[in-house]
Chain A
Amino acid sequence: DIQLTQSPSSVSASVGDRVTITCRASQGISSWLAWYQQKPGKAPRLLIYAASTLQSGVPSRFSGSGSSTDFTLTISSLRPEDFATYYCQQANTLPWTFGQGTKVEMK
């Protein structure tokens, strides 16, 4: 199975901060990577697919980059509604796998 390692596991930030989360794959996955946001008690929400394409309706402060084994999710200016847990997910090889998650907390 392809392992996805996210870092950091948690980050404390303030409204307006720039936040960057990384996701490293144990082997190359081209651009078959998606990012999700999950708030407590809610289902995950797709933010970005194909490593860098913003899902319809997702604010432009979210962006993704990377290919092969190294990927990043950036929130350019954190808003109160962005405090949540973020997961990366690969769809290059079955079984699909998720990163362990990164919790963005209020400083």
Chain B
Amino acid sequence: QVHLQESGPGLAKPSETLSLTCTVSGDSISSSIFSWDWIRQPPGKGLEWIGKLYSSGTTYHNPSLKSRVTISVDTSQNQFSLKLSSVTAADTAVYYCARVPGGGEFGMDVWGQGTTVTVS
């Protein structure tokens, strides 16, 4: 049974860099049949897709976040990470990681429980 767990500081100061990690268990993050995504949800609002990590190591992030996003992988720890720079109060949200089988046609089938980040 695959399990994803987000971790990281729950509080960040404005202008700093937010760093989060998603630890994957029960599956290999290097598997070629999955990509791994970050999604966030501001308080009381909808879901916003942040970006993804392909098994090749290639990443893609939402242009709406400009160049503030860095997604990386640590295969030795079976983890992938999100860094979001120059944070503001607008980045306050619950951050989720999720597994994506195939090219996205099968949806995001496994999600972490989410971690709350407050920028203040």
Q: Which residues of A contact B (CB under 8 A)?
A: 1, 31-32, 34, 36, 38, 42-46, 48-50, 55, 87, 89, 91-92, 94-101
**Bound form: Cα–Cα A100–B46 in Å:** 6
**Bound form: Cα–Cα A87–B114 in Å:** 17
Q: Are A89 and B113 in contact (CB under 8 A)?
A: no
**Bound form: Cα–Cα A87–B63 in Å:** 21
Q: Are B111 and A43 in contact (CB under 8 A)?
A: yes
CB of B76 to closest CB in A, whole Å: 26
Q: Are B108 and A89 in contact (CB under 8 A)?
A: yes
Cβ of A94: which chain B residues have Cβ within 8 Å of it?
A: 60
Cβ of B61: which chain A residues have Cβ within 8 Å of it?
A: 95
Cβ of A87: which chain B residues have Cβ within 8 Å of it?
A: 46-47
Q: Are A43 and B107 in contact (CB under 8 A)?
A: no
CB of B85 to closest CB in A, whole Å: 18
Cβ of B64 within 8 Å of any chain A Cβ, yes or no, is yes
- CB closest chain-A residue, reference B103: A91
**Bound form: Cα–Cα A49–B49 in Å:** 17
Q: Are A43 and B60 in contact (CB under 8 A)?
A: no
Q: Are B106 and A50 in contact (CB under 8 A)?
A: yes
- Contact with B105, one of A1, A49, A101 (Cβ below 8 angstroms): A49
Q: Are A99 and B107 in contact (CB under 8 A)?
A: no
- Given A49-B107, A91-B104, the answer on whether A99 and B46 have CB atoms closer than 8 Å is yes
